[in-house]
């Protein structure tokens, strides 16, 4: 009952109720008055910047920047962004903002330049996109509206029944379920039948009901998220191959934040910033695209041929020929050729030193 009140009164069932200027419920800050409402989403996103700064400071001081930085992002920063079911109220601008934060943090974690593709950082870091996190949160609430009968879901259902897809939130849910390919759930939204009675009235069979369970919907979100990620990697043959070769979206054993791991990530995304690569080629004139030794600065020249780095690759090349013969060296750096653990460490250490 403490706090400031507004000069607004309501009559509810014979009782006089005054409206508070500000209240907090389940971690969500509510502002009273005609211009009020829920504004915790923007506030949380703004506060995330200071949390990111603290996470970076702790990771640097730890001595294992990559490991601590990644765990801090997953356990501390993501939970802060998602706090109080904030994703339920995100609009596209908020989601793009936090997605940008994740990409920038990934670059810092891997020590990469801005020319590196976001899709490569996303894939090799082994974390979900905020589109997936947002959809999973909203899908979980939609399942509650469909199956449960608590106060919160009754309010959500009442909005849909009263104004339908004139509600921007429910309209977005309808489009989201269409993108996921769950036509049955999409029809329930568009036709305003989001209840157990609506499911019976529409004659939905048992198999289709199973597809609307939260576990199945979350699996579908991951599948669509994977397809969206692969669409970003259709630029050329190498990026398309990387999208196909990449198995489960998880952190791979080689990823340790060292220079060699960064080279592999950039090579897989075809964005190693050598002067002949299209990702940075536009920065240099025709006469500026040469290595210090005078040859054209391509990734193959820098890593495998340049005489300036010959000493750094001698042992690696010898071991590679003993184990893999005349197989293309690029396959080794990309990690698509299976080699012994010793050779794997040696080649990443060598290319890391060359790139540094």
Q: Report the distance separating Cα 260 and Cα 348, nearest Å.
A: 4
Cβ atoms within 10 A of the Cβ of 228, count?
14
Q: Report the distance separating Cα 193 and Cα 161, nearest Å.
A: 8
Q: Report the distance separating Cα 344 and Cα 190, nearest Å.
A: 54
Reported pTM: 0.82
Contacts of 50 (CB under 8 A, 6+ apart): none
3-state SS class at 250: coil
Q: How confident is the model at residue 38 (pLDDT cuts 50, 70, 90)?
A: low
The stretch 161-174 carries a mean pLDDT of: 86
Give the range among 4-13, 136-145, 183-192, 345-354 with minimum mean pLDDT. 4-13
Structure tokens at 338: 């299976």
Most trustworthy range by pLDDT among 18-22, 82-86, 149-153: 149-153
Contacts of 213 (CB under 8 A, 6+ apart): 143
- 225 or 3, higher pLDDT: 225
235-260 residue pLDDT tens: 899 999 999 998 888 888 899 889 99
The stretch 89-108 carries a mean pLDDT of: 89
- What pLDDT was estimated at residue 129? 93
The stretch 5-30 carries a mean pLDDT of: 75
What is the biggest distance separating any 2 CA atoms in the chain, rounded to whole angstroms?
Answer: 90
Structural element, H or E, at residue 17:
strand 15-20
Structural element, H or E, at residue 29:
strand 28-31
Locate tokens 């041929």: which residue? Answer: 305
Residue 90 zone, left/alpha/beta (φ > 0; ψ -120 to 50; rest): beta
* pLDDT of 57 strictly over 90: yes
CA atoms within 13 A on the CB side of 247: 7
* pLDDT of 1 strictly over 70: no
* pLDDT of 30 strictly over 80: no
Strands 22-25, 15-20: parallel, antiparallel or unpaired by DSSP?
A: unpaired
* pLDDT of 84 strictly over 60: no
Long-range contacts (CB closer than 8 Å, 24 or more residues apart) made by 179-186: 179/224, 180/135, 180/139, 180/217, 180/220, 180/221, 180/224, 181/220, 181/224, 182/211, 182/212, 182/217, 182/220, 184/208, 184/211, 184/212, 185/142, 185/146, 185/211, 185/212, 185/217
DSSP-derived secondary structure letter, 19: E
Locate tokens 């198999």: which residue? Answer: 207
Taken as a whole, the chain contains a residue count of 356
Choose among 318, 285, 281: nearest CA to 299.
281
The stretch 228-237 carries a mean pLDDT of: 92
Q: How confident is the model at residue 21 (pLDDT cuts 50, 70, 90)?
A: confident
- 207 or 106, higher pLDDT: 106
3-state SS class at 9: strand
Domain boundaries, the chain: 134-235, 273-355
The stretch 261-268 carries a mean pLDDT of: 94
Cβ atoms within 10 A of the Cβ of 143, count?
19
- 92 or 232, higher pLDDT: 232
* pLDDT of 85 strictly over 60: no
* pLDDT of 261 strictly over 90: yes
Torsion of CA 152, 86, 41, 249, to 10 degrees: -160
* pLDDT of 277 strictly over 80: yes
- What pLDDT was estimated at residue 125? 92
């Amino acid at each position: 009952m403490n706090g400031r009140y507004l000069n607004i009164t309501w009559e509810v069932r014979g009782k006089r109720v005054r409206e508070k200027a500000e209240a907090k419920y389940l971690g969500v800050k509510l502002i009273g008055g005609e211009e009020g409402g829920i504004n915790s989403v923007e506030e949380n996103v703004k506060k995330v910047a200071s949390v990111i700064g603290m996470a970076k400071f702790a990771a640097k001081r730890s001595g294992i920047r990559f490991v601590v930085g990644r765990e801090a992002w997953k356990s501390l920063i993501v939970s802060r962004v998602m706090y109080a079911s904030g994703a339920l109220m995100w609009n596209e601008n908020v989601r793009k903002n936090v997605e940008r934060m994740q990409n920038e943090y990934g670059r810092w974690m891997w020590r990469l330049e801005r020319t590196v593709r976001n899709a490569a950082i996303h894939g090799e870091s082994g974390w979900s996109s905020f589109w997936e996190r947002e959809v999973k949160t909203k899908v979980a609430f939609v399942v509650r509206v469909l199956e449960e009968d608590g106060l919160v879901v009754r309010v959500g259902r009442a909005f849909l029944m009263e104004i339908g897809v004139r509600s921007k939130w429910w309209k977005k849910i309808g489009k989201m379920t269409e993108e996921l390919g769950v036509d049955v759930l999409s029809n329930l939204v568009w036709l305003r039948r989001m209840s157990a009675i609506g499911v019976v009235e529409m004659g939905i069979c048992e198999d289709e009901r199973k597809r609307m369970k939260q576990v199945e919907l979350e699996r579908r979100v991951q599948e669509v998220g994977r397809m969206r990620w692969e669409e970003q990697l259709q630029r050329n043959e190498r990026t398309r191959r990387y999208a196909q070769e990449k198995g489960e979206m998880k952190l791979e054993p080689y990823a340790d934040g060292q220079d060699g791991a960064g080279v592999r990530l950039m090579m897989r995304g075809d964005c190693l910033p050598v002067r002949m690569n299209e990702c940075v080629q536009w920065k240099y004139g025709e006469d500026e695209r040469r290595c210090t030794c005078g040859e054209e600065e391509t990734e193959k020249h820098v890593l495998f041929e340049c005489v300036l780095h010959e000493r750094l690759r001698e042992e690696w090349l010898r071991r590679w020929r003993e184990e893999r013969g005349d197989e293309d060296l690029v396959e080794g750096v990309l990690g698509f050729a299976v080699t012994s653990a010793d050779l794997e460490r040696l080649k990443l250490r060598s290319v890391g030193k060359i790139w540094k």
